[in-house]
C-alpha cells in the first residue's frame, strides 16, 4: 500500500545506472517526506540495484525494479510508470538520483497535481527557476533546445526537457509512455508534447537545478542528437499533417 499525500497516493520514480554513491541518501530524502520510492535500475555494474534491494528489505515504502540492461531513460521511466500504476499510485513523479533535483521541491509539484494539473513540471526557465553550477554555454544550449522543441511542436512549455515532474495517473494512462519513441531526454519532450496534445493541463513550478556532486553524468552527445532529430521529425509531421 502506497503512502498518501492528502488523499492521493504518491510514488517517486528514480531511474539509476551506477548511482550507488547517491542511492541511500536519495531514498532517505524521499522517504523522510512520506512518499514511496521506486528505484528502476538498469543492471548497474557498481551494485546500485543490489544495494537498493537491501534498502527495500528494511522499508516497505522502497520498491525496486530491475531491468536486464541499460536501455535509456525513456524505457526506464516507461517501465517505472507501468509498475507504479500496478502499485496503485495516483501521482507518479520523476526525479534524478543525483540531487540535481531537490527532493524538498516534491511537495510543490505534488500540490500542483492535487490542485488540478495533469502534469506538473519542475521548471528551470520560469520566473523563480534557475540553474546552479552550469557554465553559460550549457545554459544557453539548454535554453535554445527548449525553445527549438516548443517552437517546432507548438507547445506552451518553457522547460520541455526538464526531468523533475509529477503526473496524474490518468495522464499516464492516456498518453501511454510505453509507445514513446525517444530513449534519452527527448522522452521528456515527447511526454510533455503528448500531454498538451491530449488537451491536458500542464503547470510549471519553478525549481533550482543543481549540478551533481557525486557520480558521473549519463548525458552524452548521442542523447542530444537523438533528441534534436526526433523533435525535428515530430515538428515536420505536425507542419505537414503526416502521421508517420
When mean pLDDT is compared across 4-18, 34-48, 100-114, 197-211, the lowest value belongs to 4-18
Residue 2 pLDDT exceeds 70: no
Q: How far apart are CA 39 and CA 42, in angstroms?
A: 10
Q: What is the mean pLDDT of residues 53-65?
A: 98
Q: What is the mean pLDDT of residues 30-46?
A: 97
Predicted confidence at residue 244, as pLDDT, reads: 46
DSSP state for residue 213 in the 8-state scheme? S
Contacts of 138 (CB under 8 A, 6+ apart): none
Predicted confidence at residue 108, as pLDDT, reads: 98
**Cα angle for residues 94, 98, 104 (degrees, 5° grid):** 60
Average confidence score pLDDT of the chain: 91
Domains of the chain and CATH, by start: 4-240 (3.90.550.10)
Predicted confidence at residue 228, as pLDDT, reads: 81
What pTM did the predictor assign?
0.91
Residue 129 pLDDT exceeds 70: yes
Q: What is the mean pLDDT of residues 49-54?
A: 98
DSSP state for residue 24 in the 8-state scheme? H
Give the pLDDT confidence of 155-173 residue by residue, as tens digits.
999 999 999 999 999 999 9
Q: Quote the percentage of the chain above a pLDDT of 90.
A: 75
Amino acid at each position: 500500500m502506497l503512502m498518501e499525500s492528502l488523499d492521493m497516493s504518491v510514488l517517486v520514480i528514480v531511474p539509476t545506472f551506477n548511482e550507488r554513491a547517491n542511492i541511500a541518501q536519495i531514498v532517505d530524502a524521499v522517504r523522510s517526506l512520506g512518499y514511496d520510492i521506486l528505484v528502476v535500475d538498469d543492471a548497474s555494474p557498481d551494485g546500485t540495484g543490489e544495494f537498493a534491494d537491501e534498502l527495500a528489505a528494511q522499508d516497505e515504502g522502497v520498491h525496486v525494479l530491475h531491468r536486464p540492461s541499460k536501455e535509456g531513460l525513456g524505457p526506464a521511466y516507461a517501465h517505472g510508470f507501468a509498475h507504479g500504476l500496478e502499485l496503485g499510485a495516483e501521482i507518479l513523479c520523476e526525479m534524478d538520483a543525483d540531487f540535481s533535483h531537490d527532493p524538498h521541491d516534491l511537495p510543490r509539484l505534488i500540490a500542483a497535481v492535487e490542485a488540478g494539473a495533469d502534469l506538473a513540471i519542475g521548471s528551470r526557465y520560469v520566473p523563480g527557476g534557475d540553474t546552479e553550477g552550469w557554465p553559460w554555454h550549457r545554459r544557453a544550449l539548454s535554453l535554445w533546445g527548449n525553445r527549438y522543441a516548443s517552437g517546432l511542436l507548438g507547445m506552451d512549455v518553457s522547460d520541455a526537457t526538464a526531468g523533475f515532474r509529477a503526473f496524474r495517473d490518468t495522464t499516464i494512462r492516456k498518453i501511454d509512455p510505453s509507445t514513446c519513441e525517444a530513449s534519452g531526454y527527448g522522452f521528456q519532450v515527447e511526454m510533455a508534447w503528448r500531454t498538451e496534445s491530449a488537451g491536458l493541463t500542464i503547470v510549471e513550478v519553478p525549481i533550482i537545478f543543481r549540478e551533481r556532486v557525486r557520480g558521473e553524468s549519463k548525458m552524452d552527445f548521442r542523447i542530444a542528437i537523438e533528441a534534436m532529430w526526433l523533435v525535428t521529425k515530430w515538428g515536420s509531421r505536425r507542419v505537414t499533417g503526416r502521421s508517420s
